[in-house]
Amino acid sequence: MAVIDHRETRAPFLRLAQRRLFVGGAWVEPRSADTLPVEDPSTGERWAELPAANDADVDAAVRAARDAFERYWQQSTPAQRRAALLRLAEQVESCLDELATIEAIDVGMVRTVARNFGAKALVRNLEYYASWCDKIYGSLVPLPSGGNALDYQRREPYGVVAAITAWNAPLVFLGSKVGPALATGNTVVIKPSELGSLSTLRFAELCQEADLPPGIVNVVTGGPSTGQALVSHPEVDKVSFTGGCATGRRIAETAGRLLKKSTLELGGKSPQLVFADAAIDRAVAGVGLGGLALSGQACAAGTRIYVERPIYDEFVERLLGFCRGLPIGDPLAPGTLLGPLISAAQLEKVQRYIDAAEAQGSTFLCKGERLGGDLASGFFLSPTIVAGLSQDSPVVQEEIFGPVLAVFPFENEEEAVTLANGTRFGLAAGVWTNNLSRAHRVAHRLRAGIVWVNTYGNLPYTVPFGGYQDSGWGREAGREALFEYTQVKNVYVDLSEC
């Protein structure tokens, strides 16, 4: 596998770390002197620093967003919002390769995936929500008084939205949050993950280049304290968060105490059910990629694999061969499919789960190993497939966020559904079967916000995404996201004296 000079590739993007904070349409010096390291997951090198915004920095960004909302954005016409989003989409589309390279060096996402999955998703989301700007309708309610009164509802923006994104797919989350927020007349303050901020800073540059009205998009970088300051700010009206369950709970507690609306897209421990009548070639590839895409660092990763007993041995053997053949290596290199984990801490976390499975006497069909040679300093780990775990094992019950698949046999449909629903998560699930009745029947019984049948991970920007139970609440993407960023006002007009 080829290895590319990351220092040379990173050099043009040092400016992003020097851009500081994006507030009110301009790049401003932070009030805070604290910084965060920028690390390349493929090499382990710390090669830049970003400001860690403090309360005063957050306050400045929120006030800029509030000013933009009050002075012009909430009064903007649908045509104006549509034009702004389309200009921004055009700017992003002109930089797909650049954005993909940034994601590769910043979060370790394979460059081709970052381009075709991440950057293009951002473009399509912006275009999609631009098309909705003039289609956000209220309604008219017939009244018992007949023609003596008029009652209608309006959908109105909340105001200032705090958009807190995760590191595993920053561009995807930008599109699913910024698109509907701006389309519905809100302004946003974005806080990207401290582990993956560079593409969001480039996005802020593109907002400038697209001549977006100042203050409708603001970016502050920082860690948990920055996020807490943003969520708790009295001028923030709505919080949209993508990330882990522990952080999501803290945000929910803060938002609940302050009676702020929130959308939480949290973790998952998603099952894939493979029935004996499934097209096995298709299922093997779909299950493997569904669990290992982004090196397992995906909230919807289907990492609990339940296979009907008659095909279990054959399926597992073929899955093992498929996973062993997945090219792992430098995310900048052509042909790579699996890149590194995000950090040394994440690598250590995944290794702890593997060690725990080994301590439980599990059977490893393949066990994750570090890469050597030129990639030894990066956070690479090959896939693990483990069998023989109990259903109460932490490897089965907890989100690992790494390339670890657990496989189990099942005897019948009832057992499969019971096993699939056996965690506190409920983000996604997969069903592999050629029986149409079973496909619908099982899909309806699974406690998951999205169920894929005979595929896994396909998520058009036009469909809603979100979870049940500990996987969060609210929906992102699709038409449903528009409801997450608007509130209903009822207007009753007495016409009797008019």
Q: Which two tokens stand for residue 159?
A: 């105001």
Q: Is 161 helix (H, G, I), strand (E, B) or coil?
A: strand
* Strand 450-453 relative to strand 428-432, pairing: parallel
Does residue 299 have an active-site annotation? yes
Does residue 489 have an active-site annotation? no
Between the alpha carbon of residue 144 and those of residues 147, 148, 150, 488, 492, the distances in Å are: 9, 9, 11, 21, 13
Phi, psi of 156 (to 5 degrees): -120, 150
Q: C-alpha angle 254/257/261, rounded to 5°?
A: 75
Residues recorded for the chain: 498
- Name the β-bridge partners of 26: 23
CA distance 409 to 313: 9
Q: How many CB atoms lie within 10 A of CB 150?
A: 15
Q: Which of 260, 299, 399, 484 is catalytic?
A: 299
Does residue 349 have an active-site annotation? no
Helix, strand, coil tally for the chain in percent (to 5): 45, 20, 35
CA distance 472 to 164: 14
Between the alpha carbon of residue 185 and those of residues 31, 87, 486, 498, the distances in Å are: 29, 16, 9, 32
Residues 6+ apart with CB under 8 A from 403: 291, 292, 295, 296, 338, 350, 368, 381, 382, 383, 384
Q: How many CB atoms lie within 10 A of CB 259?
A: 6
Q: Which of 103, 194, 476, 484 is catalytic?
A: 476
- Name the β-bridge partners of 384: 404
Q: Which of 103, 127, 194, 265 is catalytic?
A: 265
Q: Which of 95, 127, 133, 177 is catalytic?
A: 177
Q: Which two tokens stand for residue 88?
A: 């921004």
Does residue 207 have an active-site annotation? no
- Name the β-bridge partners of 308: 410
Q: Is 261 helix (H, G, I), strand (E, B) or coil?
A: strand
CA distance 161 to 265: 15
* Catalytic (active-site) positions: 177, 265, 299, 476
